A and B are shown apart, each in its own frame.
Chain A
Amino acid sequence: MALLEVEGLRTVFPSQEGEVSAVEGASFSLSEGEVLGLVGESGSGKSVTAFSLMRLVQAPGRIAAGSVRFEGRDLLSLDEREMRKLRGRRMSMIFQEPLSSLNPVWTVGQQVMEPMLLHGGVTRREARERALAMLARVGIADAARRFNDYPHQLSGGLRQRVMIALALVCEPKLLIADEPTSALDVTIQAQILELLRDLQRELGMAILMITHDLGVVAEIADRVNVMYAGRIVESAPVETLFRAPAHPYSAGLLQSVPDMGEERERLPTIRGIVPRPGEMPPGCAFAPRCPYADAACTVAPPPVHTLTDDHAAACVRPLGAHG
């Protein structure tokens, strides 16, 4: 059974033109211990998807439709108290900006202990010991000394390690990581990715890795969902996506990353710009930018085309499907 099953998720925000969908009919599942990459550009709805799963969408945004089943329970029908029992204990989340995601007035130790104390079952002493062990586990060298430091006294890399420690201290089954390395330098990014990979294996947890960086996906994901303009346009195992992307958007994205292996005069580009929310074209949202689009693409949102068991694309004529 899947750990997480999302069906037809729709999250909307009010705007002057009425409600606008940030996420439109997202469906995917995540097995235990699996790392799923959720790739998209800014405004694609990938972060809103993550916040929706935790039911932490900020008002006035709201989840308008769909279901989220986690460990067999429908999260969207739980009351807030039940939901709170899951957050931080069964499912956790980390964010892009480690400095702003840590509370500046509490010490690192207090913040790592807090999830355990909130969910009960441990004494302060046990919580302290486990927090110290967790800080050491995420690679903080002198955990005992850092325990009493405040976030502003740490470097960016250490802060993200602290954030990971407090997210994982209750050993959740699912970690939602929202661009956890995007604000970090490339050498620190490599350290954090390696740490996440190790912890994922060790704790047997699933990770939903939200990123705009295909390199991060290549490093860590087992499967990938590509999002564009609020919809999931392609879902594939990571090797498949990099070898044979089926959606023209995925293919364009892969090609427009500069490649250090070959020298090209010009970078292949995706023409045009992402449509603004509220100005979505009636058919496929990518049609105005798609080199292969024709009249059929502008009528209705394209159906999901299943190419193989584990590869699907929301495209009228996915690449490679017709030979």
Chain B
Amino acid sequence: MATRRSGPRFGHRIKIGLGAAIVLGAVLMAILAPLLAPHDPYRQDLLARLQPPVWAEQGAWKHPLGTDNYGRDLLSRLIYGSRLSIMVGVSAALLSAVLGSVLGMLAGYKGGWLQQVIMRFADAHLAFPEILLAILIVAAVGGSALNLILVLGVSGWMVYARVMYNLTRAVRERPFIEAAVSHGASDAYILARHVFPQLVPVLTVVCTLQVAQMILQETALSFLGLGLPPPTATWGNMLAEGRDRLWVAPWIANFAGLAIILVVWGINMLGNGLREHLDPKAKERR
């Protein structure tokens, strides 16, 4: 029974700080892409095909991370690729957050047939692979940034609906809701003043973590050739292109993979840190 400085008490601060730093860096990179990228990401240079990164034997500072099969500068493509991945990820996560939270809150607060319909639908949808649905729809309507946002946004709603539903039901049972009813408050007032504010922390956490999921899904679609059509610079496209050159130029795939894992990991750290920070149980222990 040795005394231990309880680690997690400060752990969440580190996670939030580290995660936020990575996320901030990625966002800045996306915004400042034209200033940061050394080359035009789409300019082909067939004489400089498949050049390795600068630290390899034949590498040169002209292309710090080397070039791809068409001689395009990888660093520039990586920097520009962040724009689409982040924009699609954030927009899709926000779209599904709005859809899912409204439906989940309604189902949880109103109950009855509305709840039955919404939640049965969510369960059925949750059982169906979301990536499969996205594949099918993109295959049918074609990949554009807007289509990707819509498809991923719509196919992610039930995650929020489930969480918000359960939470709303729990909040609904809390005595201060009954207190508000006894003061003569209307449903709209109670939802806005008493229910929604209780949901915000969890919504923030889920939304953060979903951005990471959406980025992964977008890159997965691109990887399968169902994302934005080439030559658009996206991390998923770069991975897919790199896969065919693994023997001769493994760096093409690996830099894209590293970029994805770093950003997604940063977002996950931020989300988990926020969850620990906002967890009421953890708070009581402090």
A and B touch in the complex (CB under 8 A): yes
Tell me if A63 counts as interface (CB < 8 A to partner B): yes
| CB of A113, distance to nearest CB on chain B (Å) | 31
Tell me if B1 counts as interface (CB < 8 A to partner A): yes
Which of A14, A57, A62 is in CB contact (< 8 Å) with B6?
A14
A60 touches B286 (CB 8 A): no
Which of A16, A19, A57, A63 is in CB contact (< 8 Å) with B286?
A16
Residues of B close to A63: CB separation below 8 A:
1
A62 touches B286 (CB 8 A): no
Instruction: Please give me the residue from chain A that is nearest to B286 by CB atom.
Output: A16
A64 to B63 Cα, complex, angstroms: 64
Q: Count A-B contacts at CB 8 Å.
A: 13
A57 to B3 Cα, complex, angstroms: 13
Residues of B close to A60: CB separation below 8 A:
3-4, 6
Residues of A close to B3: CB separation below 8 A:
14, 19, 60, 62
> Which residues in chain B, 104-154, are within 8 Å of chain A measured between CB atoms?
none
Instruction: Please give me the residue from chain A that is nearest to B9 by CB atom.
Output: A16
Tell me if A59 counts as interface (CB < 8 A to partner B): yes
User: How many residues from A make CB contacts under 8 Å with B?
Assistant: 8
Residue from the set B1, B2, B4, B286 with the largest chain A CB neighbour count within 10 Å = B1
> Which residues in chain B, 1-34, are within 8 Å of chain A measured between CB atoms?
1-4, 6
B286 touches A59 (CB 8 A): no
Residues of A close to B4: CB separation below 8 A:
60
A169 to B21 Cα, complex, angstroms: 60
Residues of B close to A62: CB separation below 8 A:
1-3
A250 to B286 Cα, complex, angstroms: 32
Instruction: Please give me the residue from chain B that is nearest to A59 by CB atom.
Output: B1
Instruction: Please give me the residue from chain A that is nearest to B5 by CB atom.
Output: A14
A19 to B1 Cα, complex, angstroms: 14
> Which residues in chain A, 1-33, are within 8 Å of chain B measured between CB atoms?
14, 16, 19
A19 to B4 Cα, complex, angstroms: 11
A285 to B217 Cα, complex, angstroms: 60
A63 to B2 Cα, complex, angstroms: 10
Instruction: Please give me the residue from chain B that is nearest to A57 by CB atom.
Output: B1
A14 to B4 Cα, complex, angstroms: 9
| CB of B75, distance to nearest CB on chain A (Å) | 47
| CB of B286, distance to nearest CB on chain A (Å) | 6
| CB of B136, distance to nearest CB on chain A (Å) | 41
| CB of A191, distance to nearest CB on chain B (Å) | 31
A63 to B4 Cα, complex, angstroms: 14
Residues of A close to B286: CB separation below 8 A:
16
Residues of A close to B6: CB separation below 8 A:
14, 60
| CB of A64, distance to nearest CB on chain B (Å) | 9
| CB of A321, distance to nearest CB on chain B (Å) | 40
Residues of A close to B1: CB separation below 8 A:
57, 59, 62-63
A190 to B2 Cα, complex, angstroms: 42
Instruction: Please give me the residue from chain B that is nearest to A15 by CB atom.
Output: B286
A1 to B243 Cα, complex, angstroms: 81
Instruction: Please give me the residue from chain B that is nearest to A12 by CB atom.
Output: B3
> Which residues in chain A, 37-94, are within 8 Å of chain B measured between CB atoms?
57, 59-60, 62-63
Interface readout for B220-253 with A: 1 if CB under 8 Å, 0 if not?
A: 0000000000000000000000000000000000
Residue from the set A16, A19, A60, A63 with the largest chain B CB neighbour count within 10 Å = A60
Residue from the set B2, B3, B4, B286 with the largest chain A CB neighbour count within 10 Å = B3
| CB of A62, distance to nearest CB on chain B (Å) | 4
A16 to B2 Cα, complex, angstroms: 17
Residues of B close to A57: CB separation below 8 A:
1
Instruction: Please give me the residue from chain B that is nearest to A14 by CB atom.
Output: B3
A60 to B2 Cα, complex, angstroms: 8
| CB of B9, distance to nearest CB on chain A (Å) | 8
Interface readout for B263-286 with A: 1 if CB under 8 Å, 0 if not?
A: 000000000000000000000001
| CB of B13, distance to nearest CB on chain A (Å) | 14
| CB of B251, distance to nearest CB on chain A (Å) | 48
A61 to B1 Cα, complex, angstroms: 8
| CB of B6, distance to nearest CB on chain A (Å) | 6
Listed from nearest, the 4 A-B pairs whose CB atoms lie closest are A62-B1, A16-B286, A14-B3, A59-B1
A residues within 8 Å of B by Cβ? 14, 16, 19, 57, 59-60, 62-63
Query: Can you report 13 residue pairs joining A to B where beta carbons are below 8 Å apart?
Result: A14-B3, A14-B6, A16-B286, A19-B3, A57-B1, A59-B1, A60-B3, A60-B4, A60-B6, A62-B1, A62-B2, A62-B3, A63-B1
Q: A60-B4, A60-B6, A62-B3 are in contact. List 5 more A-B contacts (CB 8 A).
A: A14-B6, A16-B286, A19-B3, A57-B1, A62-B1
